[in-house]
Amino acid sequence: MRKANPLRIGILGAGVAGLAAAWELTRAGHQVECYEAAPQVGGLAAGFREPEWEWSLEKFYHHWFTNDRDALRLIDEIGARDQLRILRPKTSIWIDGHSYRTELSPASLSLPLSPLALARMAFTILYLKFTRNWAALEGVTADRWLRRWLGDEGYEGLFRPLLIGKFADAFDQVNMAWFWARAVKRTTKLATFAGGFQAFNEALAAAVRAQGAQIHLNAPVRALQFPQGQPTLETPQGRQRFDRVLITGSPRLLLRLAPQLAETDYGAQLRSLRSIGAICAIFSLREPLLTDGTYWLSLPAQSADRSRNEFPFLVLVEHTNFIDRRHFNGEHLIYCGDYVPSDHEYFQLDEASLLARFRAALPKVNANFRDDWLRRSWLFRAPYAQPVPTLHHSAHIPPSQTPLPGLFWVSMSQVYPWDRGTNYAIELARRAAALMVGETLPIMARS
């Protein structure tokens, strides 16, 4: 039902969270303007498309699980269900020079573990799949809990290297609730959108615009002020006053735009949130790299120092073993992905040097690889891409409603215990939108 007195709402960021919030708010009859610093919508789920490609390719690999209900519901709402594609790709792990299947199937019995270790692993995964008491798990680290239930063989041989690969030096600080969420959410079938995630982003943006919202691209917000207690944005279109403002982005972005939060308890919570960044090198090849059809190949690490591991990155994803390469002019597309702190060497190296370092590891998974297979390559880096949830993390997450009048915030740092992803960006945005129009304005906090 349309509101008799619609609110004027500004949203910073036209990623999936910002667009989903705009969808909810415009459906309720409110006036929405989105400001996006990038030249395209999508945020971390944005893609790019070469002229000869039929589909776009994500800058950072993406897929949906078939139980990502908020994402599937939104696709239904914008009338795009016929664009959903559900497939069953092959996932594997690299151990001692060989690739082993890891999806929940009889094929996973081929893992190089003893029968006892395999049985303990199966029991542990089943327990995690069926338990819902995740809160009881956030008081213990994944390192400690998994070692206890898997035993040294299963933990040291499989899960500890994966945790080190993901979180480096912080691997033994991440709580077990985060790992529980990973186990619960995983499905053997995965989903994508016809045309790639950028096609989904554009379809959602078109639906939002059709409901009256304005989306400004190449439009970074320079400042946020509160004259007479009303949130006001300094935009490329000039000074804009709103009844509500929603910021979608990192805790650092929020603190930069709203320094008034610095001396509040809310600001202290923001500063306590830890995160790491993402690196994605993409290679277009003339030949397939993972010839057994694997889509997702996890690459365990023994050291937090990438230079001491067999591979200088965490995962190898052959996108065209998931999505038919005919959509990409017959090219074989490979992601080499990693998560590292924002001050890591990978964020300092020039693009050519980092691409060369990652490319040098490709012959380790396919001895036939030659440099003349390489058609072209791309590199993408995002300093804020993965929260690091430590013990009792739920107690440290700031709510969406800030202490400043009319100011709200959503980010992947609030997704917990779930892992970051577009499904949860949508869920957070829905809840924030309801809160923005259903609650009275808070009183500005004083330091």
* pLDDT for residue 3: 59
pLDDT of residue 419: 85
CATH code for the domain of 30: 3.50.50.60
Same domain, 207 and 256: yes
98 strand-pairing partners: 95
Give the pairing of strands 332-340 and 275-285: antiparallel
pLDDT value of position 420: 86
Q: pLDDT of the chain along its 447 residues, tens only?
A: 455 589 999 999 999 999 999 999 999 999 999 999 999 999 999 999 999 999 999 999 999 999 999 999 999 999 999 999 999 999 999 999 999 988 765 555 688 999 999 999 989 999 999 999 999 999 999 999 999 999 999 999 999 999 999 999 999 999 999 999 999 998 999 999 999 999 999 999 999 999 999 999 999 999 999 999 999 999 998 999 999 999 999 999 999 999 999 999 999 999 999 999 999 999 999 999 999 999 999 998 999 999 899 999 999 999 999 999 999 999 999 999 999 999 999 999 999 999 999 999 999 999 999 999 999 999 999 999 999 999 999 999 999 999 999 999 999 999 999 988 999 999 999 999 999 998 433 443 332
Say whether both 178 and 216 belong to one domain: no
The gap between the terminal CA atoms of the chain, to the nearest Å, is 40
Place of tokens 């919202």: 213
Q: How far apart are CA 294 and CA 104, in angstroms?
A: 15
Tell which residue, 435, 436, 440, 444, has the closest CA to residue 404.
444
Residue spans of alpha helices (H) in 211-320:
251-257, 265-272
- Point out the domain boundary residue: 185, 217, 236: 185
Do 116 and 251 lie in one domain? The reply is no
Same domain, 203 and 132: no
pLDDT attached to residue 110: 80
SS3 content of the chain, % helix, strand, coil (to 5): 40, 25, 35
18 CB neighbour count, 10 Å cutoff: 29
Total domains, the chain: 2
DSSP letter assigned to residue 176: H
> Is 222 a member of any domain?
yes
Tell me: do 122 and 173 sit in the same domain. yes
Spatial distance between the Cα atoms of 377 and 371, rounded to a whole number of angstroms: 12
Does the CA dihedral 144-175-43-384 come out positive or negative?
A: negative
Phi, psi (deg, nearest 5) at residue 162: -70, -40
Largest CA-CA distance found in the chain, in angstroms, rounded: 69
> Helix 16-27 and helix 197-210: axis angle, to 10°?
30
Residue 435 sits at the vertex; the CA angle it makes with 133 and 404, to the nearest 5 degrees, is 110
The number of beta carbons lying within 10 Å of the beta carbon of residue 229 is 11
What tokens appear for 128 in the block?
């995690």
Distance, in Å, from the CA atom of 35 to the CA atom of 136, rounded to the nearest integer, reads 40
Could you tell me the pTM of the whole model? 0.93
Please tell me the predicted confidence (pLDDT) of residue 109. Answer: 64
Bridge partners (DSSP) of residue 377 are: 283
277, 167 in Cβ contact below 8 A? no
State the Cα–Cα distance between residues 262 and 259, nearest whole angstrom: 5
Q: What torsion do the CA atoms of 30, 35, 36, 39 make, to the nearest 10 degrees? A: 100
- Do 205 and 254 lie in one domain? The reply is yes
Could you give the C-alpha distances from 3 to 8, 25, 163, 320, 438, in angstroms and in order? 12, 10, 48, 46, 12
Same domain, 224 and 158: no
* 221 and 165 co-located in one domain: no
Residue 444 lies in a domain: no
Tell me what pLDDT residue 438 has.
84
- Write out the residue range of the structural domain in which residue 136 sits: 105-185
Is residue 114 located within the same domain as residue 175?
A: yes
Q: Assess whether 261 and 402 both reside in one domain.
A: yes
Q: Clarify whether residues 15 and 51 are in a common domain.
A: yes
Domain boundary among 134, 158, 185: 185
Q: Judge whether 356 lies within some domain.
A: no
At 262, the amino acid letter reads A
* Assigned domain for 370 exists: no
Residue for token pair 């009889």: 106
371: in domain: no
My answer on whether 114 and 252 are in the same domain is no
pLDDT score, position 445: 36
Q: Kind of pairing, strands 232-235 and 238-241?
A: antiparallel
For residues 328 and 387, give the distance between their C-alpha atoms in angstroms, rounded to a whole number.
Answer: 32
HSE-up of 70 (CA within 13 Å, CB side)?
A: 16
Q: Is residue 247 one of the residues assigned to a domain? A: yes
On whether residue 80 sits in a domain, the answer given is: no
Residue 252 domain-assigned (yes or no): yes
Task: Name the domain boundary from 185, 216, 245.
Answer: 185
Distance between CA 20 and CA 10 in Å, rounded?
A: 13
* The pLDDT value given to residue 254: 97
The candidate with the shortest Cα–Cα distance to 71, out of 424, 430, 439, is 424
